[in-house]
């Protein structure tokens, strides 16, 4: 038997209601803040990710699904920022009034070791804001992430932020980190040794326990906690924190937060949950002021984030009553069909018994699948009435056929 591939999952009908809830809520929250949806292709030129995500990242080095077609190297998108930036440049969005505010949702692909909270095809929802370098833009996108999570009913989360500074600050920081880590190189993991050459800041992102222990040493802590960002970057960061405070968003500054991708500068942030075990990040993002230019566009400041929807899904509780509104119980199929159609046209979900079984069987089915049974048997047909039965309380009323539609919602 052919089965779903390792690291992929079917989203079955029982669960799709939760996915629709995540998607509907995203649309609602982002639209209110004037973000518009963008849908970009699922595969792109491999080069886009090599340049856009960075060839020293795990994503580009180890995790891409790459294939050849007509001598072109193509890759299933491992994330969507690079694709959105490509579209921004390709469609001349820099000519639109700025900022341009976009959101997306959809599947992403990374060849990782599957485990709880980590799949090979997973889904992200995310936002990107182009054209504003203001700290209020940073606060707005972080605010939007928090708003979205709250609307999903998730409050037990914490926001961590950090500032990586501008390229000059980063260079200063990078040099100090390299210097202080040099004596520890043989104790650091193989990946960290590779990062030491390619992108030393990302060493701080290492999840290996023995590496994390080394970062706790006094001389290293001194560099990490040291003040390496320039006055302009500092002022920017202070302003972001002020706005977050005025929005009552609780956050902490985590100086180890550097994010996995190469393109970030200034503000970076993650939102984590205490209820997720080791894959505890639900949201990651930051400012990426050089990416549009790197990919061939005009210099354009930008900031955004992405959330893992599988991780959100495992956090949201059973919020909704997924039952049908009305099951029409009748031994007259055409009548049942007609009434189901009337109900649907008024916005009630409705069904009836296709094989037209006996009354008792139909009522059993109704009790299993719906909130109300609408009973239309011989008596009702004769008196031009219907009986509405509340299947939670078992109460029932007999009402005129003409005005049952206004009764059903209130019973």
Q: Indicate the residue among 118 and 178 with the shorter CB distance to ligand ATP.
A: 118
What is the Cα 116 distance to its own chain's centre? 17
Tell me how far, at minimum, the Cβ of 110 lies from ligand ATP, in Å.
5
Q: How far is the CB of 63 from ligand ATP (least distance, A)?
A: 8
119 is a contact residue toward ligand ATP (CB under 6 A): yes
> How many Å apart are CA 179 and CA 174, to the nearest integer?
9
Residue with tokens 């039965």, as numbered in its chain: 389
Pull the structure tokens for residue 338: 């007609």
Task: State which residue, 309 or 340, has the beta carbon closest to ligand ATP.
Answer: 309
Task: Choose, by CB under 6 A, the member of 9, 27, 118, 365 that binds ligand ATP.
Answer: 118
Confirm or reject binding of residue 283 to ligand ATP (CB under 6 A): yes
Between CA 99 and CA 220 the distance in angstroms is 39
Which string of DSSP letters, residue by residue, matches 254-302?
-TT---SSTT-EEEEEEEEETTSTTS-EEEEEEE-TTHHHHTTS----E
Residue 144 vs 376, nearer CB to ligand ATP: 144
Minimum distance of ligand ATP from residue 346's CB (angstroms): 40
Name the DSSP letter for residue 116: T
To ligand ATP, the closest distance from the beta carbon of 166 in angstroms equals 21
For residues 129 and 143, give the distance between their C-alpha atoms in angstroms, rounded to a whole number: 13
Of 287 and 371, nearer to ligand ATP (C-beta) is 287
Give yes or no for residue 124 binding ligand ATP (CB under 6 A).
yes
CB of 275 to ligand ATP, least distance (A): 13
Residues 82-111 that bind ligand ATP (CB under 6 A): 110
C-alpha span between 33 and 129 (Å, rounded): 11
Residue with Cβ nearer ligand ATP (65 or 411): 65
List the one residue from 54, 284, 297, 301 that touches ligand ATP (CB under 6 A): 284
Residue whose tokens read 């009552």: 248
Question: Which candidate, 340, 313, 350, places its Cα nearest to that of 17?
Answer: 313
Q: Which is nearer to ligand ATP, 131 or 308 (CB)?
A: 308
Whether the CB-CB separation of 237 and 266 falls below 8 Å is answered with yes
- Contact string (CB under 6 A) for ligand ATP, positions 297-336, x = contact: ---------xxx-xx-------------------------
DSSP 76-102: E-S-SHHHHHHHHHHTTGGGSSSPEEE
State the DSSP string of 346-400.
TT--EEE-TT---HHHHHHHHHHHEEEEEEE-HHHHHHTEEEEEETTT--EEEEE
Read off the tokens for 166: 């501008």
- Answer yes or no whether residue 279 interacts with ligand ATP by CB under 6 A: yes
For ligand ATP, the closer CB: 192 or 306: 306
| Phi, psi for residue 258 in degrees, rounded to 5 | -120, -15
Between 64 and 366, whose beta carbon lies closer to ligand ATP? 64
Size of the site for ligand ATP (CB under 6 A): 19
Identify the residue among 33, 260, 323, 381 touching ligand ATP (CB under 6 A).
Answer: 260
Residue nearest to ligand ATP (CB): 308
Alpha-carbon distance of 186 to 164, in angstroms, equals: 26
Q: Which pair of tokens denotes residue 396?
A: 């029932």
Our finding on whether 282 is near ligand ATP (CB under 6 A) is: yes
Given 122, 173, 237, 288, the residue binding ligand ATP (CB under 6 A): 122
Closest separation in Å from C-beta 260 to ligand ATP: 4
CA–centroid distance for 289 within its chain: 22
The least distance separating ligand ATP from the CB of residue 117, rounded to whole angstroms, comes to 6
Shortest reach from residue 248's CB to ligand ATP, in Å: 23
Shortest distance in whole angstroms from residue 28 CB to ligand ATP:
21
Would you say 9 or 234 has its CB closer to ligand ATP? 9
Question: Are 257 and 268 within 8 A, CB to CB?
Answer: yes
- Is residue 165 at the binding interface for ligand ATP, with CB under 6 A as the rule? no
> What residue ranges bind ligand ATP (CB under 6 A)?
79, 110, 112, 117-119, 122, 124, 260, 279, 281-284, 306-308, 310-311
């Amino acid at each position: 038997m052919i089965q779903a591939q390792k690291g992929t999952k079917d989203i079955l009908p029982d669960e799709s209601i939760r996915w629709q809830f995540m998607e509907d809520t995203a649309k609602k929250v982002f639209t209110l803040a004037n973000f518009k949806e963008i849908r970009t292709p699922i595969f792109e030129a491999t080069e886009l990710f090599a340049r856009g995500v960075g060839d020293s990242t795990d994503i580009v080095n180890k995790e891409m699904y790459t294939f050849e077609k007509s001598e072109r190297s193509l890759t299933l998108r491992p994330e969507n920022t690079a694709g959105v930036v490509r579209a921004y440049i390709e469609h001349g969005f820099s000519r639109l009034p700025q900022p341009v505010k976009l959101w997306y949702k959809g599947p992403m692909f990374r060849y990782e070791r599957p485990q709880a909270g980590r799949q090979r095809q997973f889904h992200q929802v995310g936002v990107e804001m182009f054209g504003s370098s203001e700290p209020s833009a940073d606060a707005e996108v972080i605010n939007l992430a928090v708003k979205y999570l709250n609307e999903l009913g998730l409050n037990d989360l914490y926001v961590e932020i950090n500032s990586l500074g501008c390229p000059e600050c980063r260079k200063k920081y990078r040099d100090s980190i390299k210097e202080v880590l040099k004596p520890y190189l043989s104790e650091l993991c193989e990946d960290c040794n590779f990062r030491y050459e390619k992108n030393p800041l990302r060493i701080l992102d290492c999840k290996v326990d023995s590496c994390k222990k080394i970062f706790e040493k006094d001389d290293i802590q001194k560099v990490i906690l040291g003040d390496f960002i320039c006055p302009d970057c500092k002022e920017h960061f202070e302003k972001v924190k002020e706005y977050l405070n005025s929005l009552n968003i609780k956050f902490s500054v985590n100086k180890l937060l550097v994010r996995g991708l190469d393109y970030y500068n200034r503000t970076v942030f993650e939102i984590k949950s205490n209820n997720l075990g080791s894959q505890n990040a639900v949201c990651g993002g930051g400012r990426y002021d050089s990416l549009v230019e790197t990919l061939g566009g005009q210099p354009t400041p930008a900031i955004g984030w992405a959330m893992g929807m599988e991780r959100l899904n495992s956090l949201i509780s059973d919020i909704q009553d997924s039952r049908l509104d009305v099951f029409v119980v009748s031994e007259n199929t055409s009548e049942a069909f007609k009434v189901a159609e009337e109900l649907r046209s008024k916005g009630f979900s409705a069904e009836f018994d296709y094989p037209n079984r006996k009354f008792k069987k139909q009522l059993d089915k109704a009790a299993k699948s719906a909130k109300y049974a609408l009973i239309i048997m011989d008596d009702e047909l004769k008196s031009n009435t219907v009986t509405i039965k509340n299947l939670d309380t078992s109460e029932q009323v007999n009402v005129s056929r003409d005005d049952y539609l206004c009764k059903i919602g209130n019973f």
